Amino acid sequence: MLSAILTKTFYTFISLMVILNYALLLIGSMARIRAKVQGRVGQPVWQPYIDIIKNYGKRTAVTHGVMFYLGPVFRLAGGLGTYLFMPVVYGFVMFENFSFSGDLLLVMYFIFFGQLGMALGAGESGHPYSPLGVSRGLAQMTAFELPFALAVISIVAQYGTLSITEIVAAQQGGWQNWVAFTNPFAMIAGMLAFLGMSMQNPFSVVIAPQEIPIGPPTEMHSAFLGMLQTNRAIFNGAKMVLFMNLFWGGATHKYLLVAILIMVVKTFLIYLYVNIVGASFPRFKTEQSIRFFLGVPTIIGIIAVILQSI
Amino acid sequence: MEKDMERRLYADTGAPEGSPVVNPDPRTLGDSSNIQLFNEQLKLLNSGLTEEDRLNFCDTPPEVIKPFRGHWENFLNWARSESLWILGFGTGCGAIELRPLMTSRFDMYQYGIQPRPTPRQSSIFVIGGYASVKTMKRIVRSYEQMQGPKFVLGLGSCTINGGMYYDSYNTVNRLDHYIPVDVYIAGCMPRPEALLAGLMELKTIIKEGRGEGANKYAENFEWYKANQKRIIKDWNMPDYNW
C-alpha cells in the first residue's frame, strides 16, 4: 500500500515537473515568436524562469490579510487540480495522473475554481483596479464557458462517458477518429472558447497592462507573484492538454518518449493557434467579447449538441 | 585626495557615503531639527495624516535586510539583473526615450528588461528627467511601494544637477538627496543607446552586489525624509508608504 502511494507520488511529481518546465519554455518561446511578428528580437526563451526566480528572491513582501495570502494558493490549487485529474499521455501509468470516471466535470470545475479564489484574494488587496479586473474576468469567463460547456456536452453525448481517458481511448485508431473530425462543430465551439480561456488578444482585456494596470494581480508581488507565474505555466499546460485530449485525439504511442513528443507537438500547435489569433486581432472590450462568445460560438455549440442528440 | 574632497562635499549635506559627487542641492542644506519623524516608541508619527487616516496606515519605518552570503546571493543577483522590470511611470520628458527602447528598433526585452504597470511588481524606477516638487511626491510614494531590492536610474542631466532647470523654483536639482540612485545617465536628452548603456551598467552593479539602494534608504531614512519634507510642503501622505 505504502509503496503504491509512494510510486504514485513519484509519478505525479515527474508529471508535474514535465508540464511545468515544458509550459515555461512554451510561454518563453511564444513570447519570442510574438516578438518576431512585431519585428523585435524578443526575450530569451528561458526568461520566465529568471522572472520566477527573481520574484521568489525578493527580500520584502507586504500582505493585506489572510485572503490575500490564500488568493495565489487557490489559484495554484486550481491549476494543479485542472492538471492532476486528467491523463497527459494516454496509456502510461506515469502520466495518467489521478484521472477517474467523472474527471471531466471536476476539471471543468477546477478551471473556474482558481479564478474565484483569486477574486477573493485580489479583493482583499484593497486596490480598486483588482476588483475591476476580477469583474471583467468573471464576466468574460461566464461568456466563454457557455460554448465550452456546449462543446463538452456534445462530446459527452457522442461517447456516452464523462471520463477523459475513455474519450481519448475512443479517438484512437487514426486521425479520422479525432473529435475534431467526427464532431467538428464541437471542436470549433471549443477552440473558440479556448481563445477566451487563454486570455491572449483579442480577449486580453482582463490582464492588459495598458487598460487597468495588470488587472486582478495588481497588488500581487514578490513570492505571491512568483506563485501566480508558476500557476500560469501549469494552468496553461493543463488547458492545452485538456483540449488536446478532448478534440485532437490525445497523445499515445508504444514508446513513452515518442508519446510525450506527440503531446509536445500537438499542444505547441494549439498554443500557436492562440498566438496567431492574438497577433492578428486587436483587443476587444469586455462587452464585445461577451457579445462574441454568446453569438457565433454558442450557436455552433448548440448545433453540435443538437447533431449529437438526434 | 579624491576621498578628502568627497568628505568635504558631504560634510555640508550629511549625504550617505558613496553617493555620487555632484553639486549639492542648496535646499537640502537647511536645518532639519524641526522635522520630527518618530514618537517615543520609534514609530512613525504620520503627522501629515488626519487622526482617522492614521489608523489605516503603517507606522513602521523600513528595515535593513541583510543580503545572503556567497553563491546563493550571487545567483539571486544574477536573476535580479537579468529580469529588470521598469516601473511604467513617466516622471519627466525623458520618458519619451523609453518608447523606442521597448519597440523593434532597440527592443529592451532581449536584455530581460520590460515595463511593468505597478510599483509593487517593478524592480527598477527610471526617473525620466526633471523632477518637479509635485512629481517628487509621487516619486517618493511609488519608490516606497516597490519591493526590495529595488534600483533607481536617473535619466538625463536634470536628475544630476537640475540641468536647464537648475535655478527653477519648483524643480529638484539633485535626485539622490531624496531617493538613492544607482546609475545616472548624463545628457539632454540621452538617446536610447545611452539608456541601454546605463541599464547594462546597472546590471553590472547588481551582479557585483552593489545594488543595495533599498538598504541605503532604510539606513539613512531620517536624512532622506528630512530632505523630502523640506521641499514637499503639503505632506498629506504617510511618512513611509508601504
pLDDT per residue as tens digits for the range B116-147? 889 999 999 999 989 999 999 999 999 999 99
Give the nearest partner residue to A58 out of B75, B107, B147, using CB atoms.
B147
| Each residue's pLDDT tens digit, A228-249 | 999 999 999 999 999 999 999 9
User: What integer pLDDT is reported at residue B32 of this predicted model?
Assistant: 58
Query: Does A105 reside within a domain?
Result: yes
Nearest CA of chain B to the CA of A63: how many Å? 10
User: What integer pLDDT is reported at residue B1 of this predicted model?
Assistant: 45
C-alpha span between A234 and A74 (Å, rounded): 13
Task: Give the CATH number, domain containing residue B40.
Answer: 3.40.50.12280
Query: Does B242 reside within a domain?
Result: no
Which helix (DSSP H) or strand (DSSP E) does residue B116 occupy? strand B113-116
Q: Distances in Å between the alpha carbon of B155 and those of A99, A160, B127?
A: 56, 65, 6
Split into its structural domains, chain B has a count of 1
Query: Does B9 reside within a domain?
Result: no
C-alpha span between A212 and B235 (Å, rounded): 27
Give the nearest partner residue to B65 out of A31, A43, A60, using CB atoms.
A60
Give the mutation candidate from B147, B216, B217 for the A interface (greatest A CB count, under 10 A): B147
A62 touches chain B (CB under 8 A): yes
A220 touches chain B (CB under 8 A): yes
CB within 8 Å: B112 and A222: no
CB within 8 Å: B103 and A41: no
Cell numbers at residue B180, please? 538613492
Cell numbers at residue A184, please? 467538428
User: What integer pLDDT is reported at residue A281 of this predicted model?
Assistant: 93
A208 touches chain B (CB under 8 A): no
**Which residues in chain B have Cβ-Cβ distances shorter than 8 Å to A225?**
121
**Which residues in chain A have Cβ-Cβ distances shorter than 8 Å to B88?**
209
Show which of residues 97-156 on chain B sit within 8 Å of chain A, judged by CB atoms: 103-104, 107, 109-110, 112, 114-118, 120-121, 123, 147-149
Give the mutation candidate from B53, B63, B109, B144 for the A interface (greatest A CB count, under 10 A): B109
CB within 8 Å: A60 and B80: no
Q: Distances in Å between the alpha carbon of B127 and those of A121, A299, B164, B172?
A: 32, 52, 16, 12
From first to last of its 310 residues, what are the pLDDT tens digits of chain A?
889 999 999 999 999 999 999 999 999 999 999 999 999 999 999 999 999 999 999 999 988 889 999 999 999 999 999 999 999 999 888 888 888 888 999 999 998 888 888 888 888 888 888 888 888 989 999 999 999 999 999 999 999 999 999 999 999 999 999 999 999 999 999 999 999 998 888 998 888 776 677 788 888 999 999 999 999 999 999 999 999 999 999 999 999 999 999 999 999 999 999 999 999 999 999 999 999 999 999 999 999 999 998 8
Query: Does A55 reside within a domain?
Result: yes
Contact by Cβ (8 Å): B179, B139: yes
CB within 8 Å: A59 and B149: yes
Give the mutation candidate from A29, A37, A43 for the B interface (greatest B CB count, under 10 A): A43
Give the position of cell 551598467.
B201
Give the nearest partner residue to A40 out of B79, B109, B115, using CB atoms.
B109
Q: What are phi and psi of A61, to 5 degrees?
A: -155, 145
Longest dimension (CA), chain B: 56
> Which of B173, B240, B236, B241 is closest to B47 using CA atoms?
B236
CB within 8 Å: B110 and A40: yes
- Which residue range(s) make up the domain with A191? 50-309
* CB contact set of A75 (below 8 Å; sequence gap of 6+): A114, A115, A117, A118, A121, A227, A228, A231, A235
* CB contact set of A223 (below 8 Å; sequence gap of 6+): A55, A56, A58, A61
Q: Nearest residue on chain B to A41, judged by CA atoms? A: B110
Contact by Cβ (8 Å): B22, B161: yes
User: What integer pLDDT is reported at residue B148 of this predicted model?
Assistant: 85
Give the nearest partner residue to A209 out of B107, B117, B214, using CB atoms.
B117
Q: Nearest residue on chain A to B87, judged by CA atoms? A: A213
**Which residues in chain B have Cβ-Cβ distances shorter than 8 Å to A210?**
117
Q: Nearest residue on chain A to B76, judged by CA atoms? A: A57
Query: pLDDT band at residue B219, thresholds of 50, 70 and 90?
Result: very high
Please report, to the nearest 10 degrees, the dihedral formed by the alpha carbons of residues A24, A29, A33, A34 taken in order. 20
Query: Does A15 reside within a domain?
Result: no
Q: What ranges in A212-255 are assigned the alpha helix state H?
A: 222-247
Query: Does B35 reside within a domain?
Result: yes
| Each residue's pLDDT tens digit, B2-58 | 455 444 444 444 555 555 444 455 555 555 556 788 888 888 888 888 888 888 888
Query: Does B15 reside within a domain?
Result: no
CB within 8 Å: B110 and A213: no
For chain B, state the CA radius of gyration: 18
B156: burial class by Cβ within 10 Å (0-12, 13-18, 19+)? buried
Cell numbers at residue A54, please? 527573481
Strand ordering across the sheet containing B151-155:
B113-116, B84-87, B124-128, B151-155, B183-185
Give the mutation candidate from A27, A30, A58 for the B interface (greatest B CB count, under 10 A): A58
User: What is the residue-wise DSSP string for A76-113?
Assistant: HHHHHHHHHTS-SSTT-GGG-TT--TTHHHHHHHHHHH
Measured in whole angstroms, the distance separating CA B64 from the mean position of its chain's CA atoms is 16
Average pLDDT, chain B: 86
Query: Does A225 reside within a domain?
Result: yes
Measured in whole angstroms, the distance separating CA A6 from the mean position of its chain's CA atoms is 28
User: What integer pLDDT is reported at residue A185 of this predicted model?
Assistant: 96
Measured in whole angstroms, the distance separating CA A181 from the mean position of its chain's CA atoms is 23
Query: Does A247 reside within a domain?
Result: yes
C-alpha span between A227 and B173 (Å, rounded): 41
**Which residues in chain A have Cβ-Cβ distances shorter than 8 Å to B117?**
209-210, 213-214, 218
Cell numbers at residue A253, please? 504511442
Q: From the CB of residue B12, how many other CB atoms can be counted at a distance below 10 Å? A: 11
CB within 8 Å: A50 and B83: yes
Split into its structural domains, chain A has a count of 1
C-alpha dihedral sign at A220, A223, A227, A232:
positive
Query: Does A233 reside within a domain?
Result: yes
**Which residues in chain B have Cβ-Cβ distances shorter than 8 Å to A214?**
116-118, 121
User: What integer pLDDT is reported at residue B17 of this predicted model?
Assistant: 58
